[in-house]
Amino acid sequence: MRDAVRRALEVCPIEVGVAVAGGDWKLTTVWKLSGGPLRFGELQRAVGPVSAKTLTRQLRSLETDGVVVRTVFPEVPPRVTYELTEAGRELAGIAVQLGRWSERFIAPVEASTVSEYGPAS
């Protein structure tokens, strides 16, 4: 278990959730994976302007916390896929709600809603 999570456990469940799901790109990553497994490169393009280094670290963190599963195929060129666990699928639902909340209260828009975008195909 990661230190950040262990520390949050001493405080309250909400902080545990923040320790696991907080940080740039994490929830968007989970959301993009809710359409099914994606390779590293596909994921990077789908998530947005995230560096490989950061995406890798966030994915490792999510893997440690039991949100995603990483599968390495012993091929050349290498192929690695990421998919959600049950915890990840549940978290994706919360991510969508947060996206809708921000559309409603922070940046009201008519088009380009998270509801319409959907996860990466």
Partner DNA sequence: CTGTATCCAACAGGATACTG
Partner DNA sequence: CAGTATCCTGTTGGATACAG
Which positions lie near its own copies, rule CB under 8 A? 5, 9, 11-18, 20-28, 31, 48-49, 65-66, 86-87, 90-91, 94-107, 113-114, 117
Count how many residues are written for the chain.
Answer: 121
Give the interface segment with DNA, choosing from 28-36, 52-60, 93-101, 103-111 (CB under 7 A): 52-60
Asked whether position 54 contacts DNA by CB under 7 A, the answer is yes
| Contacts for 114 with CB less than 8 Å, ≥ 6 apart | 31, 96, 99, 100, 103
Give the interface segment with DNA, choosing from 17-25, 27-35, 86-94, 96-104 (CB under 7 A): 17-25
Asked whether position 85 contacts DNA by CB under 7 A, the answer is no
Tell me whether residue 59 or residue 114 sits nearer to its own copies (CB atom). Answer: 114
In the list 1, 14, 74, 77, the residue contacting DNA (rule: CB under 7 A) is: 77
Give the span between the Cα atoms of 23 and 46, in whole angstroms.
Answer: 17
Cα–Cα nearest to 97, from 115, 119, 118, 85 = 115
Asked whether position 12 contacts DNA by CB under 7 A, the answer is no
DSSP state of 69: E
For 20, how many CA atoms within 13 A lie in the half-sphere containing its CB?
A: 22
Give the interface segment with DNA, choosing from 18-26, 27-35, 87-95, 97-105 (CB under 7 A): 18-26
3-state class of 78 per DSSP? Answer: coil
Asked whether position 69 contacts DNA by CB under 7 A, the answer is no
Structure tokens of 87?
């915890």
